[in-house]
């Protein structure tokens, strides 16, 4: 199955010039982000979180009520799930993440030794040696993308109902990609809507969310482009996989200039997994076919950083239209 032709090329929006300079330093100076001693790991101010919360509610409003697609079919009501930041290691292993993205994964290791092993551990710490080598692999792995734990949950329930399913999920995700770009964090929050069903259902869902994503970002008065993109697959085989992904337009990104206007930042992703997760987890449609899946992912910190970048650090001075979208309860009638 290849992606429909309308996804095969970039869809261009307006990209205005963005102020340059070290955005991370500006965020620290304004107290919006607070350094925690590691690149890509920050505490967030109340002002930052107020925007994250508003975006979270906006994404919920846009996803409801269930909508009717261009083909007249109505989408299933989203089922809400919020996940802890970790997932089962054995489920993680089955996703194939370590083949595709070993460089990004974060596994949880723990001390499981006796008192003697503890004394050795303290000696290693004292002498500033590698104390972590004695840690034992736990049954937990940090979630790399919010939708990974969802597929086995749905497969466990049996065949999909007619019309398939939509899941509204949120999780704190981890990716080991330390960076001085404030938009590239090691721990960040992702909202996702995941669609599971027939090819046509998944296809209509992605097209519908592409439209909704564009109008959401337009209403927030942010410039953007939509581009076919690829995931950062590891190694030489990975480069081939990335090329195939772009060629088939399996991943589209809505990118907003945040750090620079030359390299806009992916803030929303529209991923078509074909039958990859359906086949891995034995998820079937009511017709008995292997289910196809897609997801739309929202980077909460990235969207927030984009808003601060384009409208300033003081939300009170943001354009009234933008404030009304984010805080409709405060909008003047």
- Shortest distance, CB of residue 125 to ligand AMP, whole angstroms? 30
Q: Does 250 bind ligand AMP (CB under 6 A)?
A: no
Q: Does 267 bind ligand AMP (CB under 6 A)?
A: yes
- 86 is in the binding site of which of ligand AMP, Zn ion, none (Cβ under 5 to 8 A by kind)? none
Q: Does 160 bind Zn ion (CB under 5 A)?
A: no
- 184 is in the binding site of which of Zn ion, ligand AMP, none (Cβ under 5 to 8 A by kind)? ligand AMP
Q: Does 100 bind ligand AMP (CB under 6 A)?
A: no
3-state secondary structure at position 121: helix
Q: Which stretch binds ligand AMP (CB under 6 A): 73-81, 116-124, 296-304, 309-317?
A: 296-304
Residue 6: DSSP 8-state: G
Out of 63, 78, 149, 299, the only residue in the binding site for ligand AMP (CB under 6 A) is: 299
- 188 is in the binding site of which of Zn ion, ligand AMP, none (Cβ under 5 to 8 A by kind)? ligand AMP
Give the nearer residue to Zn ion in terms of CB position, either 47 or 85: 85
Q: Does 295 bind Zn ion (CB under 5 A)?
A: yes
Q: Does 188 bind ligand AMP (CB under 6 A)?
A: yes
- Neighbouring CB atoms inside 10 A of 267's CB total 25
Integer CA distances (angstroms), 106 to 33, 47, 101, 130, 133, in order: 23, 29, 11, 18, 15
Q: Does 145 bind ligand AMP (CB under 6 A)?
A: yes
Strands (E), the chain: 33-38, 41-44, 79-82, 86-88, 107-110, 136-142, 165-174, 187-197, 225-228, 251-256, 265-274, 292-299
- C-alpha 323, offset from chain centre: 24
Q: Which phi and psi angles does 313 have, rounded to 5°?
A: -80, -20
Q: Does 301 bind ligand AMP (CB under 6 A)?
A: yes
Comparing CA positions, the residue from 309, 301, 284, 98 lying closest to residue 198 is: 284
Alpha carbons 33 and 199: distance in angstroms, whole number: 42
Give the nearer residue to ligand AMP in terms of CB position, either 96 or 161: 96
- In the complex, which residues of this chain contact ligand AMP (CB under 6 A)? 145, 175, 177, 183-185, 188, 190, 266-269, 271, 297, 299, 301-302
């Amino acid at each position: 199955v290849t992606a429909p032709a309308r996804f095969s090329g970039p869809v261009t929006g307006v990209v205005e010039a963005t102020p340059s300079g070290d955005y991370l330093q500006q965020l620290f100076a304004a107290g919006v982000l607070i350094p925690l001693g590691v690149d890509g790991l920050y505490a967030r101010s109340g002002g930052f979180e107020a925007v994250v919360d508003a975006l979270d509610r906006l994404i919920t409003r846009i996803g409801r009520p269930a909508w009717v697609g261009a083909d007249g079919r109505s989408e299933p009501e989203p089922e809400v799930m919020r996940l802890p930041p970790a997932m089962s290691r054995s489920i993680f292993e089955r996703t194939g993440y370590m083949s595709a993205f070993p460089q990004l994964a974060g596994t949880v290791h723990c001390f499981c030794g006796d008192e003697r092993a503890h004394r050795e551990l303290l000696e290693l710490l004292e002498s500033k040696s590698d104390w972590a080598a004695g840690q034992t692999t736990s049954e937990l792995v940090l979630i790399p993308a919010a939708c990974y734990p969802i597929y086995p949950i749905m497969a466990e329930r049996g065949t999909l109902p007619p019309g398939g399913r939509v899941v509204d999920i949120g999780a704190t995700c981890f990716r080991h990609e330390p960076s001085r770009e404030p938009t590239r964090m090691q721990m960040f929050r992702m909202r996702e809507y995941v669609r599971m069903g027939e090819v046509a259902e998944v296809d209509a869902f992605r097209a519908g969310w592409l439209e909704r994503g564009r109008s959401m970002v337009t209403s927030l008065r942010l410039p953007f482009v939509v581009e076919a993109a690829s995931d950062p697959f590891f190694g030489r085989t990975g480069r081939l996989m990335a090329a195939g992904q772009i060629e088939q337009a399996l991943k589209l990104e809505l990118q907003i200039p945040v750090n620079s206007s030359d390299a806009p930042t992916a803030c929303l992703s529209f991923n078509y997994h074909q039958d990859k997760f359906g086949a891995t987890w034995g998820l079937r449609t009511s017709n008995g076919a292997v289910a196809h899946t897609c997801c739309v992912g929202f980077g909460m910190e990235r969207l927030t950083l984009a808003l601060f970048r384009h409208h300033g650090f003081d939300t009170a001075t943001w354009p009234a239209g933008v404030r009304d979208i984010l805080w409709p309860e405060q909008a003047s009638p």
